[in-house]
Amino acid sequence: MTEDCIFCKIINGDFGTEFVYESENVVAFNDINPKAPVHVLVVPKIHVASLNELEDKELMGELLCAVKQVAKITGLKAYKTLINTGKEAGQEVFHLHLHVMGNK
Ligand code: AMP
Ligand code: ZN
């Protein structure tokens, strides 16, 4: 855990955030400022600043599997999956996350 990382704190349970989905290495929770009727963030439990810092291919696969699980759990048949990498691309939180956005 990185102490000043908001997502590490969420993963650690500091805010009592409800997880839409959880596996050994991944959690998913609702975006605080949703840009779609369903807007969930899929996040690795370990602190990885962005996709550029992620080397673990197994975890890459797990993250995409989690996206599919989140879509299923939230009843999304169609959805967008977005990863912002780097400030210039719109990344605001520097703990890797995959946006899952769609209409029910
Ligand atoms: P990005 O711009 O790709 O880094 O996305 C960061 C996302 O995290 C934004 O959509 C924010 O609304 C969301 N966010 C920031 N703080 C929180 C929080 N405490 N809980 C849930 N989502 C958050
Ligand atoms: Zn973190």
Q: How confident is the model at residue 104 (pLDDT cuts 50, 70, 90)?
A: confident
Distance 75 CA to ligand 2 centre (A): 28
Which pLDDT score is estimated for 2? 75
- Residue 18: domain span: 6-94
Which pLDDT score is estimated for 3? 77
Q: How confident is the model at residue 9 (pLDDT cuts 50, 70, 90)?
A: very high
Distance 93 CA to ligand 1 centre (A): 6
87 burial level (CB within 10 Å; 0-12, 13-18, 19+):
exposed
Query: Which protein residues have a CB closer than 5 Å to ligand 2 (ion)?
Result: 2, 5, 7-8, 47, 95
The 3-class SS string of 14-26 reads CCCCCCCEECCCE
In a domain, 48, yes or no: yes
In this structure, the residues whose C-beta lies within 6 A of any atom of ligand 1 are 6, 31-33, 41, 84, 90-93
In a domain, 62, yes or no: yes
Backbone dihedral angles phi then psi of residue 87, each to the nearest 5 degrees = -55, -40
In a domain, 99, yes or no: no
Which pLDDT score is estimated for 51? 98
In a domain, 101, yes or no: no
In a domain, 89, yes or no: yes
CA atoms of 6 and 8, how far apart (whole Å): 6
CATH number of the domain enclosing 38: 3.30.428.10
**pLDDT tens profile 30-85:** 999 999 999 999 999 999 999 999 999 999 999 999 999 999 999 999 999 999 99
Counting atoms of ligand 1 from 1, which one is nearest the CA of 83? Answer: 3
In a domain, 82, yes or no: yes
